[in-house]
Chains A and B, each alone.
Chain A
């Protein structure tokens, strides 16, 4: 299956759940999705299409947190980014650990850096902060100020 077919299939299967599709290059596609649908979409990619989970990048965009889940579809070299937005007052999202172990460390890391809660994570304890900074302080959470 080539990249175009995969994107069309995803659009067809997850019609309204995919809010936006950005195709920057042949091998870089970003899908903006609702947070409720992320586990379903990730499962579909991982189980049905053998897409490999690379990592997730969380960021603080001022009024909200954003997480970009990077998946690699190795047969064509496509990098599929699933972007979800989380409101600051309730930064919660379903954990992907029940789906694949690879999400374990990064979810723990995002939890201690940004304070994002991953629901149904089996072991949401600090990974790197022990002895480095205080508990319940999130060094990467910030207010984005436009730099000059």
Chain B
């Protein structure tokens, strides 16, 4: 008898409002279906009534974790449309904000992934090491989240040179912690047993679903907008795109870990470059936005963010299309979850790192015929953790 497991309308662990229905035969997931739009906010429509400057504050609130990637892509689109040349110092500041965000986002994912499989120590560690990064944001931008740093033509606030030692100190402190986490997570035999060969996405699947970000890179596709279509200062810095071939949960974790080192490298280089530039030169003058279209994209922690803006020469967009990376990455669940056990599917769903919000609802497991409640969201986590315990005992 097939059992339907609805996970949602708010995912109990991942923070996006979406409803997954896992169709299970015994312990095995045989099909998956999803419903979105439960929390449709109509942001594209809202933006048609906002001025070009106000749109920044709206798009910043699309996602709480990668709250700078949407303004980043929107700024790129607007600067393409208005043909604005951004000062170099602003470009480096943008890179620093973007990479700090990648650091805290990847650490957050590592923590949650640890919690999913029952390694709560990893969760505590990763989130503890994430804190200094958020403190840095507070120091640089005034906010731990929704930084409001971007504007058309540059950034709103400069990072004064006397703040550089504090930033460097946090980065220097973070590196050994990431080393330690990397060793603890990627060398652990139980984590190997739990994540290797789970939720595999082949290169062909990625191409077919047009998936992006670490999800694509973990399957051997070296696509990274920062490298392919360089924006801000990424083209002026020395860093590399991290890839893995296996396409399983382990490969996705490895890619995210190694990307953290690259982010640290990018920030350090940006700071060094900024020392040679005059302070205060952070924005270009923008007179008006002409009639036309602009396409901007940026590499968020989860992949490519895309913004399309059409202007008619007035002060508001006529059309603003937004595509977040999860939009294409979530669809890959159809490939990664089918054939997995329920406890592994939970992990495969988490592996693409869909955006997180703070609302948590219960997920109920029903018997499809009697509609009788069998489990709740916490039971699902316990199921996943139990599996890890079993593996631990076996090894």
Contact = CB atoms under 8 A, between A and B. Distances in A.
Interface stretch (B153-161, B303-311, B342-350): B303-311
Interface stretch (A13-21, A33-41, A46-54, A87-95): A46-54
Interface string B188-226: 000000000000000000011110000000000001010
Contacts of B306: 54-55, 70
A80 to B, nearest CB: 10
B40 A128 contact: yes
A50 B203 CA distance: 12
B319 interface: yes
A64 to B, nearest CB: 14
A68 interface: yes
Interface size bracket, B side: 35 or more
Contact of B230 (A77, A102, A132): A77
Contacts of A4: none
Most buried by B among A25, A74, A126, A140: A74
B327 A105 contact: yes
A147 B210 contact: no
B210 A52 contact: yes
A147 B229 contact: no
Nearest to A53: B210
A27 B321 contact: no
B37 A132 contact: yes
A76 B319 CA distance: 27
Contact of A147 (B308, B316, B334): B316
A100 B312 contact: no
B228 A74 contact: yes
B314 A148 contact: yes
Given A79-B229, A105-B327, A128-B36, A100 B210 contact: yes
Interface string A101-144: 11011100000000000000000001111111000000110001
Contacts of A102: 208-210, 328, 331
**Which of B230, B319, B323 has the largest count of A CB atoms less than 10 A from its CB?**
B319
A50 B207 contact: yes
Given A74-B223, A144-B318, A147-B312, A101 B228 contact: no
Interface of A: 24-25, 27-28, 30, 50, 52-55, 57-59, 68, 70, 72, 74-79, 81, 100-102, 104-106, 126-132, 139-140, 144, 146-148
29 contacts: A50-B207, A52-B210, A53-B210, A54-B210, A55-B306, A55-B308, A55-B327, A58-B321, A59-B318, A70-B308, A72-B228, A72-B304, A77-B225, A79-B229, A81-B295, A100-B207, A100-B208, A100-B209, A101-B208, A101-B209, A101-B334, A102-B210, A105-B331, A106-B323, A139-B45, A144-B312, A146-B312, A146-B314, A147-B316
Given A105-B331, A128-B36, A148-B314, 10 more contacts: A25-B80, A55-B306, A77-B228, A100-B209, A101-B334, A106-B323, A126-B37, A128-B37, A128-B40, A130-B37
